[in-house]
Copies of this chain bind each other. A is one copy, B any other.
């Protein structure tokens, strides 16, 4: 029973191997009448695409999206929106070599054990290239959320042990995080992070980091009881991204070290809206799995890239003897900046789904 679909009412099904014909996604459940064009999607795919910088992989991936269905005269039809991004022709890469040498830290070995027959070229289905589908679908989710006043923003907050002071980061700064290579809202920390990445790269190594995502404008009442809690669905969404090894909501692991009197967000009345709000937001906008109306905040732990040029010990599957492997090719020494648009996409998908589940998208507005 495969696992290539996500969401209940805003539901996506992705497909594609890294070096196959194409990657893509079918998005089902988008209400009819939403304005949508390929441009809306392309702008997010362009954010995901590696740039020319040294710290992100310089492979040429034009990633031109094509919408095959579900949109007519510039508006969605309420029918499935299929999007395809063709894979460009890859030069003669020496993938045959690694066929019998599973790369440590990669899914080569587990896919082989599970499926028997695998597309070993560039990681196949397990490649980070599958995030093209997430980002394309997320772009539609973002468009839908924008129409109801919800914004999703992510930024790198830690790389190679270099962190930022979250208390000093304004929402404005987060919005400008895209301006530096590492997508960090603190321009001075960003420089140090880039230095650390370069250093690791020069040493044939890689580094990890932490990325934060913030959702503004979330209405109260999103999320369901017990299992399909908003934070539970966010946790799944984020942990499903390759390289993510941890997820926390609000104060997260920090909350394990607080006392109750310190951790609890006490209530007050918002002077403007006259609604209940909390004085702090350790809960990250979610109580009992249901949104409070405060900003939703989540963070992920991103492991260092496993593709490094330092030699690693693997096992030759033919001889079942240890062997040494050096992963060649140009790889990102730190994938935090590239994960930023992906984590935004995943949050947007979860929020769009729960907005529909809660009946909070009045689709008649689009008619």
Contact = CB atoms under 8 A, between A and B. Distances in A.
Contact of A259 (B205, B246, B315): B205
A49 interface: no
Interface in A185-234: 200, 204-210, 220-221, 223-229, 231-234
A197 to B, nearest CB: 11
A290 interface: yes
B247 A226 contact: no
Given A69-B16, A104-B265, A5 B28 contact: yes
B3 A227 contact: yes
A235 B298 CA distance: 13
Q: How many of chain A's residues touch chain B, expressed as a range?
A: 35 or more
Contacts of A367: 116-117
Interface stretch (A56-64, A145-153, A168-176, A300-308): A300-308
Q: How many copies does the complex hold?
A: 4
A301 B80 contact: no
15 contacts: A1-B9, A1-B228, A3-B228, A5-B11, A15-B69, A77-B125, A113-B293, A125-B226, A210-B253, A232-B240, A242-B289, A255-B304, A258-B303, A266-B314, A268-B315
Interface in A96-140: 102, 104-107, 109-111, 113-119, 124-126, 130
**10 nearest A-B residue pairs (beta carbon):** A107-B288, A3-B228, A3-B224, A206-B260, A246-B248, A235-B239, A236-B236, A116-B367, A110-B290, A232-B240
A24 to B, nearest CB: 6
A40 interface: no
A179 interface: no
Given A69-B20, A239-B229, A81 B208 contact: no
A111 B314 contact: no
Contacts of A66: 21
A315 B275 CA distance: 10
A301 B248 contact: yes
Contacts of A119: 72, 77
B68 A220 contact: no
A161 interface: yes
A232 B236 contact: yes
Nearest to A207: B259
Contacts of A79: 2, 4, 15, 17, 124-125, 225
A181 interface: no
A169 B66 CA distance: 49
A288 B126 contact: yes
A15 to B, nearest CB: 4
Contact of A246 (B82, B249, B306): B249
A43 interface: no
Contacts of A221: 110, 113-114
Contact of A109 (B237, B247, B276): B276
Contact of A208 (B15, B256, B366): B256
Contacts of A276: 102, 109, 315
Interface string A16-37: 1100111110101100110000
Contacts of A13: 5, 13, 26, 28, 80
A51 interface: no
Contacts of A161: 257
